[in-house]
């Protein structure tokens, strides 16, 4: 995964951070599988959206984001997911991002999107 992919992942917990204004403080142990799944889905969709904003080739973006998402689903432990979700709900985007960023190297197995050359 190149730096552009990581920047896409780094932006993704923001969807849950928005919910923090309406939620009580959450502990990692209180986070359920459905909430983890919501963050995982949000991460992949955010990656795709970021690729679309950059006007990267759609198929390559979808393949790369899908790969990165699957790698994270496998490599990030349930406890890490719970901690990331709780951090996002609590408005601590930095912690949520840091947890996922620890797995940046593992995501490099995914084929990076080739940037469209601008005239």
Over the chain (119 residues), the average pLDDT of each successive run of 10 is: 48 49 76 94 92 91 93 96 93 90 90 63
For position 22, what pLDDT does the model report? 47
Q: 110, 79 in Cβ contact below 8 A?
A: no
Question: Does the pTM of the predicted model rise above 0.85?
Answer: no
For position 118, what pLDDT does the model report? 52
């Amino acid at each position: 995964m190149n730096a552009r992919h990581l920047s896409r992942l780094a932006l993704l917990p923001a969807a849950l951070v928005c919910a923090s204004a309406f939620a009580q403080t959450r502990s990692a142990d209180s986070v359920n599988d459905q909430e983890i799944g919501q963050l995982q889905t949000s991460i992949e969709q955010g990656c795709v959206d970021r690729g679309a904003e950059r006007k990267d080739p759609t198929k390559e973006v979808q393949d790369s984001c899908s790969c990165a998402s699957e790698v994270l689903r496998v490599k990030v432990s349930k406890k890490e997911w719970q901690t990331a979700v709780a951090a996002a709900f609590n408005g601590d985007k930095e912690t949520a991002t840091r947890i996922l960023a620890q797995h940046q190297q593992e995501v490099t197995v995914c084929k990076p999107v080739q940037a469209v050359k601008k005239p």
